[in-house]
Structure 1
Amino acid sequence: MSEKLNIAFIQANLHWEDSEANRKLFSEEISKISDEVELIILPEMFTTGFSMNAEKLAEPTEAETLNWMKETAMKKSAAVTGSVIITENSNYYNRMFFVFPDGSYKIYDKRHTFTLAKEDETYTAGTERLIVEYKGWKICPLICYDLRFPVWARNTVDYDLLIYVANWPEKRVNAWDALLKARAIENMTYCIGVNRTGEDGDGYIYNGHSAAYGPLGEELTELNRSDEFIAEFSIEKEALNEVRSKLKFLQDRDSFTLN
């Protein structure tokens, strides 16, 4: 078990619908990350941007991008996570991979497809939440629009870290800022949100605001940045356990099941 987890996230301006260029971009950025980092977080659809052109862009699971993530994870001796457009059994998925340093991986398919952009008409929604166990930490990885649905993120299993990867537009960034902090506080967990920046091929503007919060909503990274940058920081299990032991808010949570 690791009492401290060293994390890096990358906020970048994605190349529109160009997987090769984006893999190259992130390879260059990841090479700048220190060897102490144990978990690297990339944005939603980090190889393409938030595109509905799935028929053209989708990859099978065991294809170029997952292979790149495996190679990167093994080379850096760090877990790598982010979402990719995947095709499987004649369906398309906005699929988040959590790739371990040994090249093994877990998957999470986005539960809440973004109806405003008609994502639901292109991508099949996932049905199961994923809890990843990594270095003694329980991690819940979610994607973008999932952030608006607190029941899906409700901490009923005492996870330690909640991750959202996103392409969240500037026009609604106030919701992004508020909800990330709220999810940390209400679930008494570390919460990290990784967004993109720049303009996509559909003309939507993204201003980043990637951030990390502690279980009381305390800021762990510089907030409201709209430029491309890498953040490196640590989260501590002892500090999390101390807050939960002292305040015990999770013990008063409501009991329910999801249908």
Structure 2
Amino acid sequence: MSEKLNIAFIQPDLKWEDAEANRKLFSEKINEISNEVELIILPEMFTTGFSMNAENLAEETEAETLAWLRENARIKDSAITGSVIITENGKYYNRLFFVFPDGSYKLYDKRHTFTLAKEDETYTGGKERLIVDYKGWKICPLVCYDLRFPVWARNTVDYDLLIYVANWPQKRVEAWDALLKARAIENMAYCVGLNRTGKDGDGYVYNGHSIAYDSLGKPLTELNREDEFTAELSLDRQSMLETRSKMKFLQDRDKFSLDE
């Protein structure tokens, strides 16, 4: 078990619906990350931007982007996570990959499809939450609109790190800022929110505000950055567990189950 987890997250200006250009962009940025990093986080739909053009953009699971993720995970000896447009059995998914350094991987299909943008009319929502065990850390990766639904993120399994990858627009960034901090505090876990910047092909503007919080809601990275940047930081599991032991808020959590 590793008490420290060195992570990096990349806030980019994505190239609209251009998977090859975005993979090239991220290859360059990943190459600049230090070799001490053990987990690299990429945004939602990191090869395309948040597009409903799934018919023309979707890949099979075992296709070029997964091969690219595996290769970069191998080269950097680091896990990599982010979501991609995937087609499977005649349906489309906003699918997050969590790829381990050895090339194995876990999948999470975004549960809450964004009805305001009619994402639900194109993509099928997932049914199961994913908890990843990596280097002794329990990690819960979620996608964008999932952030608005605290029950889905509720820390009933004592996970250590909550991740949201997103394309969250500027016009609602106040909600992004507030909810990320709330998720960290209420779940007594590290919380990382990774957004994009720039303007997409549908005219939506994004202003980033990617951030990491500790288990009490203290920011660990610079607030409200709107430019392209890569952040590297080290998370301390023992410090988090000591906070939980001292505060004991999670011991008072409600017991419940989710009905479909």
TM-score, length-scaled by structure 2: 0.99
- Describe the SS at the equivalent of 2:83: strand
Query: How far does residue 159 in structure 1 lie from its aligned partner after superposition?
Result: 0.2
* Match of residue 141 from structure 2: 141
Q: How far does the alpha carbon of each residue in 1:216-235 deviate from its partner, in whole angstroms, 9 at most, with x for none?
A: 00111001000000000010
The AA in structure 2 aligned to 1:126 is G
Which blocks of at least 5 consecutive residues in structure 2 are unaligned? none
After TM superposition, the structure 1 = structure 2 runs for residues 8-87 of structure 1, keeping only pairs within 5 Å, are 8-87=8-87
Per the TM alignment, residue 65 of structure 1 is displaced from its structure 2 partner at its CA by: 0.3
The one-letter code matched in structure 2 to 1:156 is T
Q: Equivalent residue of 2:145, what SS?
A: helix
Match of 1:181 in 2: 181
> Identity of aligned pairs, percent?
79
CA distance in 2, matches of 1:83, 1:223: 24
The SS at the match of 1:86 is: strand
- Report how far residue 22 of structure 1 moved: 0.1
Give the Cα separation in 1 of the matches to 2:199 and 2:148.
23
SS at match of 2:225: coil
Alpha-carbon shift at residue 257 of structure 1 (Å)? 0.0
Question: For 1:56-87, what per-residue CA distance to the aligned partner results, in whole angstroms no more than 9, with x for missing partners?
Answer: 00000000000000000000000000000000
SS at match of 1:235: strand
Aligned to 2:16, the other structure's residue is in SS state coil
Does the residue aligned with 1:164 lie in a helix, a strand or coil?
A: strand
Equivalent residue number for residue 95 of structure 2: 95
Equivalent residue number for residue 112 of structure 2 = 112
CA RMSD of superposed structures (Å)? 0.3
Instruction: Look up the match of 1:241.
Output: 241
Q: Which residue of 1 aligns with 2:131?
A: 131
TM-score for the superposition, normalised by structure 1 = 1.00
Match of 1:121 in 2: 121
Deviations 1:15-70 (A, max 9, x none): 00000000000000000000000000000000000000000000000000000000
Mark the runs of 5 or more structure 1 residues left unpaired by the alignment: none
Paired residues, what number? 259
Letter in 2 for 1:133: D
One-letter code aligned to 1:83: S
